[in-house]
């Protein structure tokens, strides 16, 4: 019978737990309709279950059309400042579930811009968190690689902030490119420890098992990165729920490791672990 081992750091981070608990409180209180600004977290199952409970995800274009008095929950990975302004103008009650660590990036970007730095955001272009950061430092440049850093326009002073889920290796590469090009480089390392801890725990576990199962949204950048880290070490499957598990994948594995992205609640991890245990039990 295969042994199932869960990584010692896996699943929902502080910011996601906080956002879920805020929206849960709002829904439980009853009252006016509840909406979330985009998906609350990158987890389709959680977003669907919130919708079933009455909190639908809306995009920023829809804010003006919402009835005054409705409640709007701002997602954990942040929004551009205009969203809160528009919501206030539309008479909505805003519940801010932005992770405090993401807010720290917003403040750092804002300060750097105000102090005259050319602001560089190290992260993934187009990611909602990065869009939110750009909204706090208009004109900032998104850099996703050392090559992007080399392509930046000339500037006297460059100030760097980092998407919270970025790998430290990428930040180091970008900073060394910037140091070679610009007279002054000020770096705010705003990488969130939750991401690093989960990546290191996943790599440690993957090195000690025969196969890995990674749980979390396929649209979640940090979960996808966990799957890539594990796949570089052992056969790995990335699932959003237990229904996607394939018993054939477990054949021949004596130990199976499990990890989950920062947007995966504990309930989803338990469901998958229970299903895995049932599968390896049946396979005896």
Indicate which residues carry an active-site annotation: 129
Distance of alpha carbon 181 from alpha carbon 245, whole angstroms = 49
104 versus 186: smaller Cβ distance to ligand F3S: 104
Stretch that binds ligand F3S, among 14-22, 31-39, 112-120, 234-242 (CB under 6 A): 14-22
Site for ligand F3S in 109-168 (CB under 6 A): 164-165
Nearer to ligand F3S, 66 or 220 (CB): 220
| Cα distance between residue 99 and residue 192, in whole Å | 11
Give the count of alpha carbons within 13 A of 145, CB side only. 3
In angstroms, rounded to a whole number, what is the distance separating the alpha carbons of residues 215 and 238?
6
One residue of 119, 162, 194, 245 binding ligand F3S per CB under 6 A: 194
Of 74, 122, 143, 192, the one binding ligand F3S by CB under 6 A? 192
Q: Is 102 among the residues that bind ligand F3S (CB under 6 A)?
A: yes
Tell me the CA end-to-end span of the chain in Å, nearest whole number. Answer: 6
Q: How far apart are CA 32 and CA 271, in angstroms?
A: 33
The partner residues of 71 in beta bridges, in order of sequence, read 34, 93
192 annotated ligand-binding residue: yes
Minimum CB distance to ligand F3S smaller for 17 or for 277: 17
255, 208, 260, 254: which is closest to 238 by C-alpha?
260
Binding-site residues for dimethylallyl diphosphate, please? Answer: 42, 77, 127, 220, 222, 263
For ligand F3S, the binding residues (CB under 6 A) are 13-16, 76, 99, 101-102, 164-165, 192, 194-195, 262
């Amino acid at each position: 019978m295969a042994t199932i081992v869960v990584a010692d750091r896996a699943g929902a981070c502080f910011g996601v737990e906080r956002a879920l608990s805020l929206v849960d409180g709002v829904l439980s209180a009853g009252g006016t309709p509840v909406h979330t600004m985009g998906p609350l977290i990158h987890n389709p199952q959680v977003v669907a279950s919130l919708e079933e409970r009455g909190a639908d995800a809306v995009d920023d274009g829809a804010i003006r059309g919402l009835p005054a008095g409705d409640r709007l929950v701002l997602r954990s990975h942040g929004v551009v400042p205009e969203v809160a302004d528009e919501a206030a103008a539309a008479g909505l009650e805003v519940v801010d579930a932005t992770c405090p660590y993401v807010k720290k990036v917003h403040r750092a970007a804002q300060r750097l811009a105000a102090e005259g730095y050319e602001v560089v955001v190290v992260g993934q272009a187009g990611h909602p968190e990065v869009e939110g950061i750009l909204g706090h430092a208009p004109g900032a440049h998104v850099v996703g690689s050392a090559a992007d850093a080399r392509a930046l326009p000339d500037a006297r002073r460059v100030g760097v902030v980092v998407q919270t889920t970025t790998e430290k290796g990428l930040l180091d590469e970008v900073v060394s490119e910037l140091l070679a090009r610009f007279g002054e480089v000020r770096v705010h390392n705003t990488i969130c420890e939750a991401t690093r801890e989960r990546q290191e725990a996943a790599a440690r576990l993957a090195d000690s098992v025969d196969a890995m199962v990674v749980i979390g949204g396929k649209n979640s950048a940090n979960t996808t990165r966990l799957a890539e880290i594990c796949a570089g070490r052992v056969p790995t499957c990335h699932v959003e729920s237990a229904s996607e598990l394939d018993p054939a994948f477990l054949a021949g594995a004596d130990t199976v490791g499990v990890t989950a992205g920062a947007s995966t609640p504990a309930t989803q991890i338990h469901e998958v672990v229970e299903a895995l245990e049932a599968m390896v039990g049946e396979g005896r």
